[in-house]
Amino acid sequence: MKFYRMLLKKPLREFQRVSSDVFVGENKIKCAHISKGVPTIVFENGFCSGMSCMKYWDSAFMELSKEFSLFAYDRVDDALSKKNIEDMRTHLEDKTEALRIMLEKKGLKAPYILVGHSLGGLYVQHFAKKYPNEVEGMVLVDAVYPEILTEESVKGSEENIVLDTNIAKMGEVILAMPDFDTKLMFILSATQEEHKKDNPDKVTMINRAIEKQKNYIKLYPFAQQTWIDCGHLIQYEKPESIVITVREMVKVLKK
């Protein structure tokens, strides 16, 4: 979360919606939803630990709530940064099943349009591959690129090595699953030019992330990629890009 706060260019306000709690087993999870029929737009946060992250979708959520069923929630990712997860397949399946339970409890039925930011982009890819008949389309918002676990893929600061390793393991599991080469997909990628100017010590890391964004079109050649002139938090800095993209996807799906 320190990383996200560093990226903010404007004050972070509270998420303007009526939130509610939902239980998955004994775990109470904060969420927000609007029910207006299908399709349902589902928002997946990036890596989140210690505070609410669904508030980053605030502006886009409120605008889209005028037209669509929506669901956002606070996924907890503490385990990813604290321990090496041996069985990543089970971890991903547990997260996907938890989301399906929450959607069911809120009465939000498939088909879904999954919108995943950063790490959330990996979770929505897993969901779509696991349950392709429940997903009509995906929007990847500067999403983490799934890749095979290598020394290069876990290159980072010592404090993030556990998180980086787990994320790479997630990528391995997703790449090994059956493909969805006909799924409607829009990819929003951040140019991060201003962030590079403000943080010259992180230029190498940012450039590496941008190169991985370019690889998405090679992985999913059927997708449509748009570069957004902002930092990593596209949904916060340029919420209108989320709104426009979701509306365009629904328009295409209705044809």
Domain count, the chain: 1
Report the distance separating Cα 196 and Cα 223, nearest Å.
27
The distance from CA 241 to its chain's CA centroid, rounded to whole angstroms, is: 15
Report the distance separating Cα 69 and Cα 109, nearest Å.
9
| pTM score of the predicted model | 0.90
Cα atoms found within 13 Å of the Cα of residue 92, Cβ hemisphere only: 29
Domain carrying residue 223: 2-254
The more confident residue out of 151 and 76 is: 76
pLDDT of 140 higher than 70: yes
pLDDT of 50 higher than 80: no
Point out which residues pair with 29 in neighbouring strands: 22
pLDDT for 213-243, tens place per residue? Answer: 999 999 999 999 999 999 999 999 999 999 9
> Structure tokens of 142?
């500067």
CATH number at residue 215: 3.40.50.1820
Query: Considering only CA atoms, which of 200, 69, 57, 40 is closest in space to residue 118?
Result: 57
Confidence of residue 150 (pLDDT cuts 50, 70, 90): low
Confidence of residue 8 (pLDDT cuts 50, 70, 90): very low
pLDDT of 4 higher than 90: no
- Residue 24 has what pLDDT? 83
pLDDT for 87-139, tens place per residue? Answer: 999 999 999 999 999 999 999 999 999 999 999 999 999 999 999 999 999 99
Q: Within the chain, how many helices (H) and strands (E) appear?
A: 10, 8
